[in-house]
Structure 1
């Protein structure tokens, strides 16, 4: 094992063992979202990524709660086109697929003529960054802190992430960092006055380019909820500005609602 924290240790060519860093707030034997989506992104980029293509969209369907058990992967290149490449990956535990990811890559090309509408993309980073934590969180009217519990309110939220490695001994690429940070879309859109009571069943990340920084900002854009179903979207930022979008759908999980004001695992992500 390396000295850097990581979510998984590699056991063989297609096998991975979750570490303590992959554990989630949802349960002692549940894996957190960034660990699961990060592993899927790592597998697909390692297996099928090409330097002339941008990983423009990743969708991860989280079929079943991933747990702290040996995890294997299955991959396939669905289409190897001149301008578009499509691939997919399954994460398997105890013979059951717990997550399936699809990746769309587009060949880099010259931009078309003209100009288009662009959303204003100001993102104010924390003035005093807590380098000791992987996440800093802010909300309108409260500002930035390093405690999620400070932001259990109804204001618009944002976070500023630096992810740990997905696989031990393998530093995260810019793509993997973007995917793991984008899983924070669920946090910034679903965190309310009583904590987080929705568990996301998917994540879609859409990128116009790769991020420049290790630190990535995620700012909520929308949150709609009714009858125990929620939809949240967020914009991703680095020091150059906005570069992508996160989207999650989620289902109510009040029996296991996470109230961060009574947090037994303050250093874990969800």
Structure 2
């Protein structure tokens, strides 16, 4: 069966979730990777309808304010502002007419770099070695890095060390190839994983995603590396760097709420490239 988060109904008006879109938080709860990818797809479609494909996504913000379930998803899009150098678009995802999430994307027109010297860190995270993760366009279980090194075994990385992930995007809709923007917008939800995953598993659920980009990824392979994390009174803010095989291309900030009563224990879960998930122990 083709790997994808959704199928499209006959007239394309709504998306129906597949098993691959189901979250570890609950059997009827969709994960943010699928929902964010679907909203990015709706925004790209609206940008194309407006004839503004020369613009690049520069800032994409998602509010995940209500759990999305396996009911069909529909989308409404609006042009908030359009000018020669930018377009600001909004999208709302609905189920049975009720909004479950929303996103806004600022698309900017590329020009030329300035010539003045400005500080930059000068270093960026790197993908796994080619012998570990050869270039591919096929979806796969993420490669993860912590003190345990690179592997695809989640059980090896349930620790308190800095996390990095390397991901190959799952198509949002069956029969459609994922675009680079859909890939990075979907994978951006994984910033919660690399910043909130500790010794007990993932004890926080993210309520939003803010992705900033200077360019689109050079394909559908995207990496995330934890950069910073703060927490107080059950509210956590995590920052991750976004990179591909050509280097760094942006950042992600996620805000999360403590959800310890429904911790996702990744030390007991393992995934296969065909989407199957197994859980060990109790």
Bin the TM-score by the shorter chain: over 0.9
Q: Alpha carbon RMSD of aligned pairs, Å?
A: 1.8
Where 1:24 maps in the other structure, the secondary structure is coil
Q: Deviations over 1:186-207 (max 9, x none)?
A: 0000000000010000001100
CA contact (8 A) 1:23 1:268 kept: no
Q: Which moved more, 1:227-236 or 1:42-51?
A: 42-51
Structure 1: segments with no counterpart, 5+ residues: none
CA contact (8 A) 1:4 1:165 kept: no
Matches within 5 A, 1:38-57: 38-49=37-48, 50-57=52-59
Q: For 1:81, which of 58, 83, 96 is the aligned residue?
A: 83
Matches within 5 A, 1:200-239: 200-239=206-245
Where 2:215 maps in the other structure, the secondary structure is coil
CA contact (8 A) 1:195 1:257 kept: yes
Seen in structure 2, the aligned counterparts of structure 1 residues 268 and 121 have a Cα distance that, compared at 3 Å, is farther
Give the match for residue 194 of structure 2: 188
> In the alignment, is residue 129 of structure 1 matched against residue 127 of structure 2?
no
Q: For 2:104, which of 102, 115, 119 is the aligned residue?
A: 102
Q: For 1:93, which of 86, 95, 104 is the aligned residue?
A: 95
Give the match for residue 280 of structure 2: none
Give the match for residue 154 of structure 1: 160
Q: For 2:256, which of 240, 250, 255 is the aligned residue?
A: 250
Q: Residues of 2 paired with 1:230 and 1:85: CA distance?
A: 31
- The alpha carbon displacement at 1:264 in A equals 7.5
Seen in structure 2, the aligned counterparts of structure 1 residues 185 and 264 have a Cα distance that, compared at 3 Å, is closer
Q: Residues of 2 paired with 1:22 and 1:157: CA distance?
A: 23
Structure 2: segments with no counterpart, 5+ residues: 278-282
Q: Deviations over 1:5-51 (max 9, x none)?
A: 11111113331111111011000001011100000001001111433
Give the match for residue 25 of structure 1: 24
Higher share of residues assigned strand: 1
CA contact (8 A) 1:137 1:160 kept: yes
- The alpha carbon displacement at 1:81 in A equals 1.0
- The alpha carbon displacement at 1:121 in A equals 2.9
Give the match for residue 261 of structure 1: 267
Q: Residues of 1 paired with 2:14 and 2:69: CA distance?
A: 14
| TM-score when normalising by structure 2 | 0.89
Where 2:192 maps in the other structure, the secondary structure is helix
Q: Residues of 1 paired with 2:235 and 2:76: CA distance?
A: 30
- The alpha carbon displacement at 1:181 in A equals 1.8
Q: Residues of 1 paired with 2:204 and 2:73: CA distance?
A: 25
Q: Deviations over 1:123-164 (max 9, x none)?
A: 23223128773311111x211110222111111110000111
| TM-score when normalising by structure 1 | 0.93
